């Protein structure tokens, strides 16, 4: 029984993945394109038509650094620049809501490569914020609550974060980055045989 839209999409994903797994093709880049296309298609089905949101692939820029590496799948708002004679776009990072790195098979090498790409996205967003930070106040209630739960320390106030011990200051700034930067997701359709193996590889990395 399908009880909600998410379950419907999950059934769709499973059925379509079986078709792709059984498709007779041995060209690695094209196989990767098929799984990326499936991911974009599923994500696109979740977006209300009235929302000013799009699902695209392409490159991210921040007006400061060169273009990012090619991004498999991005959830974006606003408008970007279509790259001539392709289906890819160049999109400013301020209008990128989420970035998905898609892997048909996710093992250690693919995980490391994906983390490096997504870390580059975080760096580009930080560069943009440092130069173009809005004067508007950002609500950080969730960051304060999480910081206090993680550390057992009371939040000292924005003007006194710099006086925290280095490890606590780093935790606070990491939480802030997660609050305001694009969501970053690694999606593997298959790979590690168990969650324990995945966790071990992640910890080693």
Half-sphere exposure of 133 (CA within 13 A, CB side): 9
For the entire predicted model, the pTM comes to 0.76
Question: d(Cα 25, Cα 21) in Å, to the nearest integer?
Answer: 10
**Contacts (Cβ under 8 Å, ≥6 apart) of 25:** 31, 34
In order, the DSSP letters of 105-161 are EE-HHHHHHHHHHHHHHHHHHHHHHHHH--SSPPP-HHHHHHHHHHHS-----GGGG
Summarize pLDDT for 134-160 with one digit per residue, the tens.
Answer: 555 678 899 999 999 999 999 998 888
- Is the predicted pLDDT of residue 120 greater than 70, yes or no? yes
Rg of the chain taking only CA atoms, in angstroms: 19
Which pLDDT belongs to residue 1?
54
Question: d(Cα 53, Cα 110) in Å, to the nearest integer?
Answer: 28
Which pLDDT belongs to residue 8?
65
Burial zone of 121 (CB within 10 Å; 0-12 exposed, 13-18 middle, 19+ buried): buried
- Is the predicted pLDDT of residue 80 greater than 60, yes or no? yes
Range with lowest mean pLDDT among 63-67, 77-81, 105-109, 195-199: 63-67
130 vs 127, residue with greater confidence: 127
Which pLDDT belongs to residue 173?
87
């Amino acid at each position: 029984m399908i009880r909600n839209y998410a379950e419907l999409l999950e059934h769709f994903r499973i059925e379509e993945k079986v078709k792709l797994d059984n498709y007779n093709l041995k060209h690695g880049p094209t196989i990767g394109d098929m799984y990326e296309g499936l991911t974009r298609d599923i994500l696109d089905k979740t977006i209300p038509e009235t929302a000013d949101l799009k699902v695209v692939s392409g490159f991210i820029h921040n007006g400061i650094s060169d273009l990012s590496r090619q991004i498999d799948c991005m959830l974006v708002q606003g408008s970007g620049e279509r790259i001539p004679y392709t289906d890819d776009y160049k999109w400013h990072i301020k209008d990128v809501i989420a970035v998905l790195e898609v892997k048909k098979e996710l093992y250690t090498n693919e995980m490391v490569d994906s983390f490096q790409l997504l870390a580059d996205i975080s760096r580009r967003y930080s560069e943009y914020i440092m130069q173009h930070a809005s004067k508007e106040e950002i609500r950080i209630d969730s960051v304060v609550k999480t910081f206090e739960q993680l550390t057992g320390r009371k939040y000292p106030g924005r003007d006194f974060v710099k006086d925290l011990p280095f490890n606590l200051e780093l935790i606070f700034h990491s939480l802030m980055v997660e609050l305001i930067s694009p969501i970053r997701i690694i999606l593997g359709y298959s790979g590690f045989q168990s969650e324990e193996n995945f966790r071990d590889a992640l910890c080693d990395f």
